[in-house]
Amino acid sequence: MYTRVWVKVRGRDPTAVDWGRRIAEYLQGKNMEVYVDPILRHSVSLPQLSEHEAWRADLAVIIGGDGTLLQAVQRSGAKLPPIVGFTVESLGYLLPHRVEDYAKVLDGVVNGLYSVRKVMLGEFSLGEHRGFFLNEISIWGLRGKLIEYSLYVDGVEMFRARSDGVIVSTPAGSTAHALSYGGPILLSLDKPMLEVVFAGGLSSLLKPIITYDSSVSIRVEKHPAFVVIDGQRELSLEYSQTVSARPSRTYLEFIVAEPHVNPLEKLYLRLTDLNRWKPSPLAHGR
């Protein structure tokens, strides 16, 4: 039974903040101990917990989109309680519920009518830097330059190559940035897998690879580069430095109210939305 709830909303979004206020008040009406993030604290008179303190709650309600979730993961160091996610004016994927259904969804959570999905995280190391990623780490050159690198799987050299970049993705991230560069979709979000996608590779041999319970390392051979973690953090990757990634033994848990969302249907809607094409206003006028 969840009794201490932390509510986080998408920043600089008055619509998400308004929904967050309604949900916080609703949870209070269920006699729950409710805490809010610093943004929502400006709109409701409830105790505040930052992302770094979210672990003190036993349930997190995140309101916004997948970017809001990624921000929470990075700021908390992936120390988050089980998550109930609501999307606001976006499809989302890992935050599967429509915010308009919050009362039905939260009633289901209170009454035990839900399932729990485990989602694997990745972990990375770069020099003294260590951390987790939910979607991906990506390596890119500076000022439009190609990067030249060696790629290793479990210490065995697989490629020496040049490309615009390299994306190392978790199964959860396979529907995000990696997908836009031709990576496959991995449906089993709880499996210790990583997907490597080469962005703008200069060789036809550079095809996406999938590893299982293995480490992936990328060593820069020429030119400095930079590493982006979940689109939230950026680190320098100097010449001859190596960044390593592997599946983590740490998982995030997502609460899914099954009567109100089907994860595969949500994925289908996300993919068809990503691939939609809208004619320009000029095309309509012809």
- Running DSSP on this structure, what letter comes out for residue 122? E
Encoded amino acid at 127, one letter: G
Q: Are 201 and 113 in contact (CB under 8 A)?
A: no
Distance (Å, rounded) from C-alpha 149 to C-alpha 171?
Answer: 24
- How far apart (Å, rounded) are the C-alpha atoms in residues 122 and 247? 4
Answer yes or no: are the C-beta atoms of 83 and 254 closer than 8 Å. Answer: yes
Written as six digits, the tokens of 199 are 């962005």
**Rounded distance between C-alpha atoms, residue 167 and residue 60, angstroms:** 29
Q: Helices 14-29 & 102-110, crossing angle to 10 degrees?
A: 40
Instruction: State the chain's maximal CA–CA distance in angstroms.
Output: 60
Question: Which entry of 66, 107, 190, 230 is annotated as an active-site residue?
Answer: 66
Going by the DSSP 8-state scheme, the letter that residue 48 receives in this structure is B
Per the annotation, the verdict on 66 as an active-site residue is yes
Catalytic residues: 66
